[in-house]
Amino acid sequence: MQKNPTEILVHRVAHVGMAVYVLLALLIWLVPDNLHPFIAISLVGLAATHATFLGGIHGGIGLHMDSPKPRKNIALATIPAFLSWIAIIMPAYAGLPLLGLLLAIWCVVDHKTWPEAGLAAWLPLRLHTTIAAVLSCLLGAAGT
């Protein structure tokens, strides 16, 4: 079965995102110590932006007129942004594990909520991106 152009684009963007996570996690281990803060904040920023984006999906679901549980989805939209903000102001060795945990928990939340919104087909890709992101956050934290 052939994928439509939007599906192809989403998969490509997701794979590029996974590559950036892995690259940043590896760079923390490879660059001189004086460059660690720059790489670490890049990885923290990427994970925080990613988590906030995932929360935004719930906001979009909640704003949809046919949403089965709009209030729940609107509430779920805000949690990743606030937790990401906290992780950004923490040292990378603490913020990266928090973001990894947030991304993992949010994957579970999405697996429970996306099917009722008609997004079940995206869950395998969601799981793959989460695994890459969480492992990269943990690897990056270990290198800081």
Above 80 in pLDDT, residue 109?
yes
Gap between the Cα atoms of 107 and 83, Å rounded: 15
Residue showing tokens 């963007």: 13
Q: What pLDDT is attached to residue 67?
A: 67
| Rounded distance between C-alpha atoms, residue 44 and residue 96, angstroms | 6
pTM for this model (two decimals): 0.92
Q: Which of 18-27, 70-79, 107-116, 126-135 has the lowest mean pLDDT?
A: 70-79
Q: In this structure, is the dihedral angle defined by the CA atoms of residues 8, 45, 20 and 132, taken in order, positive or negative?
A: negative
* Of residues 26, 73, 68, the one with CA closest to residue 54: 73
Tokens 């790489």 correspond to 39
